[in-house]
A and B are shown apart, each in its own frame.
Chain A
Amino acid sequence: MKQENIRNFSIIAHIDHGKSTLADRILEETRAITEREQKSQLLDNMDLERERGITIKLNAVQLKYNYKNEDYLLHLIDTPGHVDFSYEVSRSLAACEGALLIVDAAQGIQAQTLANLYLALENDLTIIPVINKIDLPNADIEKVKKELEDTLGFKEDEIILTSAKRGIGIAELIEAIIERVPAPKGNKNDKLQALIFDSYYDPYRGVVALIRVMNGKIKVGDQMKMMSNGLVYDVVELGVHNPHPTKKDLLVAGEVGTVSGAIKNISDIKVGDTITLVDDPATDLLPGYKPMKSMVFCGLYPLESSKYPELREALEKLKLNDASLEFTPETSKALGFGFRCGFLGLLHMEIIQERIEREFNINLIATSPSVIYEVSLTDGSTINIDSPVKLPDRVKINDIKEPYIRTNIFVTSEYIGPIMELCQNKRGIYNSIEYLDKTRVSIHYEIPLSEIVYDFFEKLKSSTKGYASFDYDFIGYKSSNLVKMDILLNGEVIDALSVIVHKDFAYNRGKVIVENLRKLIPRQQFEVPIQATIGNKVIARADIKAVRKNVLAKCYGGDVSRKRKLLEKQKEGKKRMKIVGSVEIPQEAFLSVLSMDTEE
């Protein structure tokens, strides 16, 4: 294929604005899939993705389209839609020359619309604005058009109207891609520079990297080198997805495809890295490479201690496909053997936990999420800690710094009050409010990341009736007056419940945690005091009462089977509790330390 007939593009959108459905329609329009195959949202591979309506892993598809008697090769590069994966998004955007910016005809511009648009603009992409879901009864096309014009500076005649659901405007859209997105620029005779924008594990091929050849060419049998770490592999197989995997002998500048080479460890293939040839290496990495960094950490423990090896296996399997997942063994006095796990963000953490429970059938106890604190010690050294348990004794600490983020909260102006209140409660520092139009604002606060991991999303949703959309950027570390708060049950510190809190907020947090635990932990066979302490000082206390009644009063006309079932159910309930010391603690209790409010 002539290089000038190649178009590389991706689709960017706020969550739920119809990105995957639109991708499916494009595939259908280009005859890449038959209707029978169109199992709605073909690009989303995992059940979990389909269920949550979000795309976690990227995919790239090659499509053929004939336009004005010319054959074109289109590469559609799918991107995840969530802030946790913004680096991955930025790398897949770097593999493209153009992007479709999808905006929901009823909802208009949202936080991630903007966040992703900025990423696309940073990569100098040609943007095609698309208003999707125009068939919705509450679609307000004129209003959304005006937003795109006034806020983002598009011209009215640039905007394409579609309904992916009903197949409206799809051919027009494909033609716009061919007309407007520039052909790739690279030179196939230069030295090889191929950008890795994603990778996955295939049981037969090992690690497969998704690449965009920027310059030069790569063929089967070449020796390739990862420029960030110098690792060398033979190119065993090249291919494209159209969308079925198809082998290729050669990929040249401008093309997108897969490369595999008996690579066992997914961490060796880094998203954003550059592949070159051992024999004739390029001198420079492609711009924009950043090593992956975990932002949020938590301990994951099997509810039944005997499942520890299974948990390790599950994490190893997930890691095969997810280089951003980190884990190291950890022991907790209360919970036994488990793993300290690092995630890109909260959604990433949630997805991993859910997959372990669902796909590997292991009941988990997750400790409260933590961030990385920079602790400078009195001896002049600095340490990074990712768990409250690791915080050194107070007398040895000079200063603690914590990561801050800058929020980008999109909302209609009526909710400014509640959101400002929420941000203040989360130790937020006010930055600015920008008016996008008369009614819609973008609110910027600087907030410690650790506060975001505590129920911020839920709070935001509930205080704005679900209308707010939220995005954030990491902005660096700042000093805070932080202390470690321990929770004691029956006089014993439960290490898994310890949290790092701001001193001014400690008293309230302690009260709330203790109260929540009192409500969540069922009556025990004896009375159990719950205490929150800082140092040796008790700041809050409550008691779990002793169980007084646990009996089946009546036996129904000799219905022994029923009675037995009730006892079995009760036994099953007990199995879902962790016995710490002699106290039975339900799973939910370990997360209750997150909540700022008392549970209903």
Chain B
Amino acid sequence: MIKACYIHIPFCSSICSYCDFCKVYYHDKWITDYLNSLEREIKNIYQGEELDTIYIGGGTPTCLNIDELKRLFEILKIFNISDHLEFTIEGNIESIDKEKLELFKTNKVNRLSIGVETFNPNHLKFLNRNHTTQEVTDKIKLIKNSDFDNINIDLIYAIPNQTIDDVKKDIELFLSLDLPHLSVYSLIIEEHTKLYIDGTKNIDEDLDYKMYKTINEMLSSSGYHQYEISNYAKDNYESRHNITYWNNDEYYGFGLGASGYIGNIRYTNTRSIDNYIKGNYIYESEKLNEIEKLENALILGLRKTKGISISEFNNKYHKDILNDEIVKGLIKEEKLIKEVDNIYINPKYLYLSNEILIRFIK
């Protein structure tokens, strides 16, 4: 039973130097066609399930103008939604305004995820982001005043030339905003980004680790708990939508470059806006066999600090997870910890999780 839906709005009014997500420059000539095609895609695929979570990601969904956003929400009315719907929209500081926030509210959006990335003006410039700390403070205030309390911001660390003190300052500023959720990622220099083309090098691995520890300590001593490798939340503010992914549950993915998981099939949509508008949605799809499903359940589930529920796993996959030789070995090595009904990565090794996860891949 599918309960989650991701919708991708690829448009951005400026392109960040590190971004390798599916994005295109905002151009009004494309929006109408794009939204029409999105509507057709949803109508073709959506089977009427009651959705628990909707997530509009990007790109920068909030860079659409108010009329375009109204059209988007018009399209999404097709969804049958549950009473406790979590409905997230991503955005950036510059493009959010009072009118848009009111529109979100009327359309049942109840969670905002804002790309702040850093408060440091030099680093912002490096990442090609265009806001100031003052603007962040003002916009967050505006969002709160518009009656949103479930707010996340994204931060990036391990930026070249960043110091531990810079990182501390960013976290302090985050704490001063008093928000219930933070996603914090270390900068990855991906191919096909400006940073990669410029030959930007990763910062020293040891420094990266120190930053990670610093962030971890500051956040946990301020009442945030890490529930996934890159995500921290106050109690009950975990992103339910993202947890769908980690639980290896199914979800719809609509829009340019979006991925979804329906039945036994994982698919990814085209990244070509021309093809998308023409209705050639799918770029690749893959039918999973039982072994791959199990592997996915393990490599995704162990991203969560709580790990995998043994009983849920065994029920879902008709297999005793504790009988798995690799799991047994890892428990013996103390890489995994078994506690009552859960198996999770020893926090000592969470930052080395790939070393553990690749063992599950055949």
Cβ-based interface call for A50 (8 A): no
**B355-A568 in contact (CB<8A):** no
Contact with A along B192-225 (1 / 0, CB 8 A): 0000000000000110110010000000000000
Number of A-B residue pairs at CB separation under 8 A: 96
**B229-A551 in contact (CB<8A):** yes
**B286-A552 in contact (CB<8A):** no
Q: Which residues of B contact A553 (CB under 8 A)?
A: 185-186, 188, 229-230
**A567-B357 in contact (CB<8A):** yes
**B361-A571 in contact (CB<8A):** yes
Q: Which residues of B contact A548 (CB under 8 A)?
A: 205-206, 208-209, 351-352
Q: Which residues of A contact B8 (CB under 8 A)?
A: 557
**A550-B296 in contact (CB<8A):** no
Count how many chain B residues have C-beta atoms less than 8 Å from C-beta atoms of the other chain. 43
Cβ-based interface call for A250 (8 A): no
Cβ-based interface call for B180 (8 A): no
Q: Which residues of B contact A525 (CB under 8 A)?
A: 352, 355
Q: Which residues of A contact B132 (CB under 8 A)?
A: none
Cβ-based interface call for B46 (8 A): no
User: From B352, which residue of chain A is reached at the shortest CB distance?
Assistant: A550
**B355-A558 in contact (CB<8A):** no
Pick from B145-153, B166-174, B254-262, B321-329 the stretch touching chain A.
B254-262
Give CA–CA (A567, B299) in the complex, Å: 9
Chain B nearest CB from A365 CB (Å) reads: 22
Chain B nearest CB from A549 CB (Å) reads: 5
Q: Which residues of B contact A557 (CB under 8 A)?
A: 6, 8, 21, 55, 57, 253, 257-259
Cβ-based interface call for A439 (8 A): no
Cβ-based interface call for A358 (8 A): no
**B351-A551 in contact (CB<8A):** yes
Interface of chain A residues 539 through 566 with chain B (CB within 8 A): 545, 547-564
Q: Which residues of B contact A523 (CB under 8 A)?
A: 205
Give CA–CA (A564, B299) in the complex, Å: 8
Name the contact of B266 in the complex, choosing from A549, A560, A568 (C-beta under 8 A): A560
Interface of chain A residues 513 through 551 with chain B (CB within 8 A): 523, 525, 545, 547-551
Give CA–CA (A556, B300) in the complex, Å: 13
Chain A nearest CB from B241 CB (Å) reads: 9
Contact with B along A259-300 (1 / 0, CB 8 A): 000000000000000000000000000000000000000000
Q: Which residues of A contact B361 (CB under 8 A)?
A: 564, 567-568, 571
Interface of chain B residues 336 through 352 with chain A (CB within 8 A): 350-352
User: From A566, which residue of chain B is reached at the shortest CB distance?
Assistant: B354
Q: Which residues of B contact A554 (CB under 8 A)?
A: 185, 188, 230
**A564-B296 in contact (CB<8A):** yes
Cβ-based interface call for A31 (8 A): no
**B186-A561 in contact (CB<8A):** no
Q: Which residues of B contact A568 (CB under 8 A)?
A: 361
Chain A nearest CB from B211 CB (Å) reads: 10
Knowing A557-B258, A560-B261 are in contact, say whether A567-B354 is a contact too (CB < 8 A).
yes
Give CA–CA (A438, B169) in the complex, Å: 70
Cβ-based interface call for B17 (8 A): no
Q: Which residues of A contact B230 (CB under 8 A)?
A: 553-554
Cβ-based interface call for A574 (8 A): yes
User: From A574, which residue of chain B is reached at the shortest CB distance?
Assistant: B358
Cβ-based interface call for B245 (8 A): yes
Most buried by B among A545, A558, A563, A564: A558
User: From B157, which residue of chain A is reached at the shortest CB distance?
Assistant: A553
**B358-A571 in contact (CB<8A):** yes
Q: Which residues of A contact B268 (CB under 8 A)?
A: 559, 561-562
**B355-A547 in contact (CB<8A):** yes
Give CA–CA (A553, B230) in the complex, Å: 6
User: From A523, which residue of chain B is reached at the shortest CB distance?
Assistant: B205
User: From B4, which residue of chain A is reached at the shortest CB distance?
Assistant: A558
Cβ-based interface call for A306 (8 A): no
Q: Which residues of A contact B295 (CB under 8 A)?
A: 564
**A547-B358 in contact (CB<8A):** no
Knowing A553-B188, A559-B268, A571-B361 are in contact, say whether A547-B352 is a contact too (CB < 8 A).
yes
Q: Which residues of A contact B305 (CB under 8 A)?
A: none
Knowing A560-B259, A571-B361 are in contact, say whether A550-B354 is a contact too (CB < 8 A).
yes
Give CA–CA (A570, B205) in the complex, Å: 17
Cβ-based interface call for B87 (8 A): no
Contact with A along B290-314 (1 / 0, CB 8 A): 0000011001100100000000000
**B206-A561 in contact (CB<8A):** no
**B21-A556 in contact (CB<8A):** yes
Contact with B along A558-600 (1 / 0, CB 8 A): 1111111001101100100000000000000000000000000
**A551-B259 in contact (CB<8A):** no
User: From B7, which residue of chain A is reached at the shortest CB distance?
Assistant: A557
Q: Which residues of A contact B251 (CB under 8 A)?
A: 558
Name the contact of B259 in the complex, choosing from A549, A559, A570 (C-beta under 8 A): A559
Q: Which residues of A contact B21 (CB under 8 A)?
A: 556-557
Chain A nearest CB from B9 CB (Å) reads: 11
**B206-A552 in contact (CB<8A):** no
User: From A552, which residue of chain B is reached at the shortest CB distance?
Assistant: B354
Cβ-based interface call for B120 (8 A): no
User: From A557, which residue of chain B is reached at the shortest CB distance?
Assistant: B57
User: From B244, which residue of chain A is reached at the shortest CB distance?
Assistant: A558
Chain B nearest CB from A553 CB (Å) reads: 4
Q: Which residues of B contact A560 (CB under 8 A)?
A: 245, 259, 261, 266, 296, 300
Chain A nearest CB from B105 CB (Å) reads: 24
Give CA–CA (A555, B355) in the complex, Å: 17
Cβ-based interface call for B162 (8 A): no
Give CA–CA (A558, B253) in the complex, Å: 8
Q: Which residues of B contact A558 (CB under 8 A)?
A: 6, 244-245, 251, 253, 259-261
Give CA–CA (A364, B358) in the complex, Å: 24
Chain A nearest CB from B168 CB (Å) reads: 19
Contact with A along B235-277 (1 / 0, CB 8 A): 0000000101100000101000111110000101000000000
User: From B286, which residue of chain A is reached at the shortest CB distance?
Assistant: A561
Chain A nearest CB from B112 CB (Å) reads: 16
Q: Which residues of B contact A549 (CB under 8 A)?
A: 186, 205, 208-209, 212, 351-352
Name the contact of A551 in the complex, choosing from B260, B261, B266, B352 (C-beta under 8 A): B352
Chain B nearest CB from A573 CB (Å) reads: 9
Cβ-based interface call for B353 (8 A): yes
Chain A nearest CB from B332 CB (Å) reads: 15
Q: Which residues of B contact A570 (CB under 8 A)?
A: 354, 358
Give CA–CA (A554, B257) in the complex, Å: 16
**A545-B353 in contact (CB<8A):** no
Give CA–CA (A557, B358) in the complex, Å: 21
Most buried by B among A547, A549, A556: A549
Chain A nearest CB from B24 CB (Å) reads: 15
Q: Which residues of A contact B253 (CB under 8 A)?
A: 557-558
**B259-A561 in contact (CB<8A):** yes
Q: Which residues of B contact A562 (CB under 8 A)?
A: 259, 268
Give CA–CA (A567, B296) in the complex, Å: 11
Chain A nearest CB from B258 CB (Å) reads: 6
Give CA–CA (A563, B244) in the complex, Å: 15
Chain B nearest CB from A557 CB (Å) reads: 5
Q: Which residues of B contact A551 (CB under 8 A)?
A: 229, 350-354
Q: Would you list the 7 A-B pairs with minimal beta carbon distance, nearest first?
A: A548-B209, A550-B354, A553-B185, A571-B358, A559-B259, A558-B245, A550-B352
A residues near B (Cβ < 8 Å) are 523, 525, 545, 547-564, 567-568, 570-571, 574
A-B contact pairs, 27 of them (CB 8 A): A525-B352, A548-B205, A548-B209, A548-B351, A549-B208, A549-B209, A549-B352, A550-B354, A551-B229, A552-B353, A552-B354, A554-B188, A556-B259, A557-B253, A557-B258, A558-B251, A558-B259, A560-B245, A561-B259, A561-B268, A561-B286, A562-B259, A564-B296, A564-B299, A564-B361, A567-B299, A574-B358
Besides the contacts A545-B205, A552-B354, A558-B6, what 5 more A-B pairs have beta carbons closer than 8 Å? A551-B352, A559-B259, A560-B245, A560-B259, A560-B261
